[in-house]
Amino acid sequence: MDDPGYLRVAQERKVWAAMWNTDMRQFGPEAYVSSVVLDFEPYYREIIAARLAGSWRPAGKFLTLGNGVDRDAWGARVPLNVRREADNVRDRMLKGWSPFVGPIRDSEGRVRVAAGRIMTDWEIFHWNWQVEGVSGLV
C-alpha cells in the first residue's frame, strides 16, 4: 500500500521506517530512511510492443535491482557513512555481485544455500525462512 500511516506513527514514536514504492518523506521527515521504488515503464513498453507485434505470451517477470527496482534518495537523518556503505553494496550488485551466496544457514543452523551457490531470483522471491541470527519472524 502506498499509505503514509506507518511513517506518521514512526515519526510520532521516534523510530525509523522505510517506505514501499513512493517517497512519502513529508509525512515523517525525521523517521524516513528511504523507499523501495518500482519503475514499470520499461516492462509495460516491452509487453505492449510484443502485444502489438502479436508475439506477447503471458509470463511472470521479476523486476530486479537496476531493472525496474531501486531505492529512493536517503532520508535526511541517515548518516553519511551508512549511505556510503549501502551505496557501495548497491553499486557492486548493479555490476553483478550477489549477497545471496552460500553458505546461508537458517535460524536453526541448517544450511539452506550450499557454500558457493548463489540463490536464484525465484528462490529469493519465495524465501520463507529466517536467516541464522534473526529471530521473531513468523
Note the pLDDT of residue 82.
96
Does 38 lie in the same domain as 70?
A: yes
- Does 51 fall in a domain? yes
- Does 92 fall in a domain? yes
Note the pLDDT of residue 8.
93
Does 37 lie in the same domain as 102?
A: no
- Does 66 fall in a domain? yes
Does 37 lie in the same domain as 18?
A: yes
Q: Structurally, how many domains does the chain consist of?
A: 2
Predicted confidence (pLDDT) at residue 138 exceeds the cutoff of 70: no
Contacts of 137 (CB under 8 A, 6+ apart): 130
Does 91 lie in the same domain as 59?
A: yes
User: Which three cell numbers, joined as nine digits, stand for 116?
Assistant: 558457493
Predicted confidence (pLDDT) at residue 2 exceeds the cutoff of 90: no
Does 108 lie in the same domain as 92?
A: no
- Does 138 fall in a domain? no
- Does 9 fall in a domain? yes
The alpha carbons of the chain give a radius of gyration, in whole angstroms, of 18
* Domain containing residue 102: 98-133
Nearest residue to 28 (alpha-carbon basis) of 45, 11, 43, 40: 11
Does 93 lie in the same domain as 26?
A: yes
Does 77 lie in the same domain as 17?
A: yes
Does 13 lie in the same domain as 66?
A: yes
Does 74 lie in the same domain as 53?
A: yes
Predicted confidence (pLDDT) at residue 135 exceeds the cutoff of 90: no
Does 58 lie in the same domain as 15?
A: yes
Residues 55-86: tens digit of each pLDDT: 999 988 888 899 999 999 999 999 999 999 99
What is the percentage of the chain residues whose pLDDT exceeds 70?
98
Does 129 lie in the same domain as 81?
A: no
Note the pLDDT of residue 106.
94
Cβ atoms of 129 and 104 closer than 8 Å:
no
Does 115 lie in the same domain as 84?
A: no
Predicted confidence (pLDDT) at residue 137 exceeds the cutoff of 80: no
